[in-house]
């Protein structure tokens, strides 16, 4: 019988003998189980990990965080034991490459989460208000999206993958669909205009651009349009009730000129509306004399046009130049582009001289004052009261038996006289005017002079 080996003596320096009570329960450990890793970490016997002394106080929060990291980094992507090959394929996929890809994606996501979590923890330790920073960033992003939705909604919709071109074409009328891909579209967006209607200065700027277009030159007729030069904006399909007017002329009252200067231009515009069979509107939102209806009856009653009751066009569809646009807009300053030499050549009497040459233009204005410019009921009562007072003075105080009269209002303006006789000064008041007028008139003339 061979001699018995004494293990205690031979390996006393390398093996430690533990006395385990009989009542203690033993739990098997694997190298990758959570309990084994935790135990190795606490006892300092883990091979490749950090050694923690037994007598050192351990922070439970940090320990739990380390356990979470260990779980994410070393949790197995496949089960330890497989029941069968068929079941394994049905549960985890038949392609090993696909399973590996899923596992890699999961691990990369876990590492990213740990990286962000570590940044959050370090920022908290250093007192950096990372929550406030993220909140401010989110608020700034939200503000940017709101601004883009107002200023550039088409850009925002394109980023979202929305086909804005198809939506726009669906909302346009037939004429604008044909014009859409052509070169005759006036694009206000290219000039960064977002508020409509535009100001008078902005409309004047647009007119200069149109006048500078080579296609707009050499117009020999006032209302003529050449092929390829019929510039206009895109028009939406009318869905309102009542319907939007098919064509219109809008005059802007902005208070930049005197009252009678505006009325003089507006009289010609009203004549244009009658001639071209368009509906006439007045924009008086920025007028320094109130509303048009504060002084006169609305044009819907005095000059309703070809489509009575139709609504004004959308303000973004108003075009100052060219005047052949569907919805033309003008004012005392925009009239510079429309009431110049070509206007005079079109509407003057070419066979007359001096004042008789311009009589057709004055006749157009006279018709507008007689038919379209009618005072509202309040002003009509004031006018009638003035008439009664004049008749009372004429018949009672002056013993005149007349029932009709003519009045003139002569105002000394701020411009120099066109006559050579008064080139060095103002015209002034000539008392002989009353006598001269009375000699050639069948009714007395009452003159009101205004000097200041």
Percentage, residues of the chain above pLDDT 70: 58
Using one digit for the tens of pLDDT, what is the confidence trace for 2-40?
Answer: 555 444 444 444 444 445 455 555 555 555 455 545 545
Domain positions in the chain are 185-373, 378-450
Angle between helices 96-125 and 60-74 (to 10 degrees): 160
User: Could you identify the residue written with the tokens 């609305």?
Assistant: 298
pTM: 0.61
Calculate mean pLDDT across residues 357-383: 95
User: If you average pLDDT over every residue of the chain, what do you get?
Assistant: 74
**What residue ranges in 262-368 does DSSP mark as E strands?**
279-283, 327-330
Contacts of 186 (CB under 8 A, 6+ apart): 206, 210, 231, 232, 233, 319, 325
Adjacent-strand bridge partners of 448: 409
Element containing residue 449 per DSSP (H, E): strand 445-450
Using one digit for the tens of pLDDT, what is the confidence trace for 322-362?
Answer: 999 999 999 999 999 999 999 999 999 999 998 899 999 99
2 DSSP 8-state letter: P
CA 254, CA 239: separation in Å to the nearest integer? 30
User: Could you identify the residue written with the tokens 């009570």?
Assistant: 21
CA 275, CA 270: separation in Å to the nearest integer? 9
- Strand 445-450 relative to strand 327-330, pairing: unpaired
Calculate mean pLDDT across residues 90-113: 55
């Amino acid at each position: 019988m061979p001699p018995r080996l004494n293990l205690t003596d031979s390996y006393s320096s390398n093996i430690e003998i533990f006395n385990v009570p009989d009542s203690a329960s033993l739990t098997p450990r694997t190298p990758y189980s959570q309990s084994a890793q935790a135990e190795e970490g606490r006892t300092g016997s883990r091979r490749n990990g950090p050694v923690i002394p037994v007598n050192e106080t351990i922070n439970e929060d940090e320990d739990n965080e380390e356990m979470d990291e260990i779980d994410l980094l070393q949790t197995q992507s496949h089960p330890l034991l497989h029941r069968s090959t068929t079941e394994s394929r049905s549960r985890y996929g038949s392609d090993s490459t696909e399973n590996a890809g899923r596992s890699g994606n999961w691990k990369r996501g876990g590492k990213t989460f740990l990286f962000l979590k570590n940044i959050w923890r370090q920022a908290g330790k250093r007192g950096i208000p990372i929550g406030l920073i993220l909140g401010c960033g989110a608020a700034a992003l939200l503000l940017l999206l709101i601004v883009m939705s107002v200023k550039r909604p088409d850009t925002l919709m394109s980023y979202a993958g929305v086909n804005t071109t198809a939506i726009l074409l669906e909302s346009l009328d037939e004429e604008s669909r044909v014009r859409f891909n052509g070169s005759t579209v006036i694009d206000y967006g290219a000039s960064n205009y977002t508020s409509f209607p535009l100001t008078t200065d902005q409309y004047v700027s647009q007119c200069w651009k149109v006048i500078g277009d080579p296609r707009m030159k050499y117009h020999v007729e006032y209302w003529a349009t050449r092929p390829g030069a019929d510039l206009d904006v895109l028009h939406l399909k009318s869905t309102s009730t009542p319907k939007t007017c098919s064509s219109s002329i809008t005059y802007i009252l902005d208070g930049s000129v005197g009252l009678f200067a505006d009325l003089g231009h507006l009289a010609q515009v009203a004549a244009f509306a009658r001639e071209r069979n368009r509906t006439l509107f007045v924009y008086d939102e920025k007028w320094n004399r109130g509303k048009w209806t504060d002084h006169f009856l609305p044009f819907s009653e005095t000059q309703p046009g070809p489509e009575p009751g139709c609504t004004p066009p959308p303000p973004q569809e108003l075009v100052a130049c060219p005047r052949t646009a569907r919805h033309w807009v003008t004012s005392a300053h925009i009239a510079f582009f429309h009431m110049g030499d070509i206007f005079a050549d079109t509407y003057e009497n070419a066979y007359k001289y001096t004042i008789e040459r311009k009589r057709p233009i004055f006749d157009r204005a006279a018709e507008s004052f007689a038919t379209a410019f009618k005072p509202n009921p309040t002003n009509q009562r004031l006018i009638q009261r003035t008439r009664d007072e004049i008749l009372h003075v004429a018949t009672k105080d002056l013993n005149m038996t007349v029932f009709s009269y003519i009045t003139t209002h002569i105002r000394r303006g701020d411009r120099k006289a066109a006559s050579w006789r008064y080139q060095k000064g103002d015209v002034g008041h000539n008392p002989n005017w009353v006598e001269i007028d009375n000699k050639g008139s069948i009714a007395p003339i009452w003159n009101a002079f205004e000097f200041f």
